[in-house]
A and B are shown apart, each in its own frame.
Chain A
Amino acid sequence: MMMDRLTPQEIERLLEGHSSADPKLARLSDSLQAMRETYSAPVRPEVKAQHVQAMMAAFGETSSAPSPFRRPRRARLMKRAAVAVGASVLLGGSALAATGSLPAPAQDALAKAAHGVGIDLPHSTAHPTPRASSLPGPQFAAAKKAWLDCVKEKGKDACGPKPMAQDFVKPSPKASHEPGEPKSTEPSEHGVGNPHHSPTAPRATPNPGHGGSNPGNGSDNVPVRTPNANSGDSGHGNDDLKTPQPVKTPHV
């Protein structure tokens, strides 16, 4: 059966629900309309009530549910991070305590506490291994350089004994420290970086006339270098920079 093809305009009119006056399309147009009306019956009231109830329940769930990609995710991540940090601190701290590598007060406190529950942890004094801070470092290098400069200028005899590395090794204060004895101070306050002190004097004794608060540092087992007695030290040590005269004092 040969028929004319439908034009795009005719197709649009049919699908949009316009009735056609064209007899050759009337039957098709009516059938489509029948389809629309027959199938698009109103939903039964009980079905509608059920659906609306389900919709309101779905709305309640949606509005009460927290946003899926904000706080819960962040909170979860924070919680995991906190657990990870806590576990690291616990394990790391235990390892340090077991090897006696904690700072002396913490190590002693932990050892004492652990002893109370039957665990033996080393005390801080149980490890006489020199700490990094007790190794000869910049102080020794500076003293040696000053001595060499002095030798160049004045000769070996005028500059005293050559600085030796072992003279600058500070035994661990933990090992040498007796209970009740005042602790030594760290050299950082009077170290090389201080412009008022000689680079050749890593632990210069304070000038008694300067109102020093720690005369002599007598309890320290560190090489104590006194300013050159001949330099006319004014107490600030600046003269030492001009005329380095490293004089090693014996260990206390």
Chain B
Amino acid sequence: METSLRLGDNFDSVLAAARTGAEWAWERIYDALAPSLNGYLRARGAPDPDGVTGDVFAQLVRDINRFEGDEPGFRSWVFVMAHHRLLDDLRRRKRRPESVMAPEDMSDLEDPRDIEADVLDRVSNAELRALIETLTPAQRDVILLRIFGGLKVEEVARAMGRRSGAVKALQRRGLETLRVKLLESGEYPNGSENR
């Protein structure tokens, strides 16, 4: 089951148009990839998932001529890029914590209603978040890259700089940890109850 659009048979023509700078083609690529990419970043705990998403797409535009392959390959290429961007972002934030926002900059904030919606979303996602937090960082990377990016074991291994065997072991242990956690809690997380 896929949660994002696929370009399918149009992939080659869309890619060719994107390489010439056609805005419609870039929008198609964005629509196909951005939701799951953003989802991966949010699930992975990115402090600014929208910012990282924007960075990834800007880098994608710059590097588009280096890509060769089909749509699944393209998707995994973008997710590997996102994974590295996220790690860079987390490292940068660790070195240089964000300063308190000046009052004059508050006017640039989004609509308060959106903030409220975000807060509600976060409350409803709390159980899912708690579930993800039971995983080690490496297990989290493997499982989230696989379920959001649709990456194969070998692609995840390449992105993480690990062997395929290690990735398989990480995903098995991660899934078993989740299964135990769910059995212990005895309830579905909110997100899955709503389905």
Contact = CB atoms under 8 A, between A and B. Distances in A.
B147 interface: yes
B171 A34 contact: no
B15 interface: no
A34 to B, nearest CB: 3
Contact of A15 (B26, B171, B179): B171
B1 A33 contact: yes
Interface in A42-75: 42-44, 47-48, 50-52, 54-56, 58-60, 62-63
B23 to A, nearest CB: 6
Category for how many chain B residues contact A? 35 or more
A1 interface: yes
B139 interface: no
Contact of B179 (A3, A17, A52): A3
Interface in B150-195: 150, 168, 171-172, 175-176, 178-180, 182-184, 188-192, 194-195
A50 B54 contact: yes
Interface string A14-26: 1111110000010
Contact of A56 (B21, B35, B175): B21
Contacts of A34: 128, 188-192, 194-195
A76 interface: no
A187 B192 CA distance: 106
A5 interface: yes
Q: Is the interface of A mostly helix, strand, loop or mixed?
A: helix
Nearest to A63: B21
A104 interface: no
B42 interface: yes
B176 A37 contact: no
B187 to A, nearest CB: 9
A60 B128 CA distance: 41
Nearest to B26: A55
A8 B62 CA distance: 38
B157 to A, nearest CB: 14
Contact of B191 (A3, A37, A63): A37
B35 A28 contact: no
B57 A28 contact: no
B79 interface: no
B76 interface: no
Contacts of B27: 52
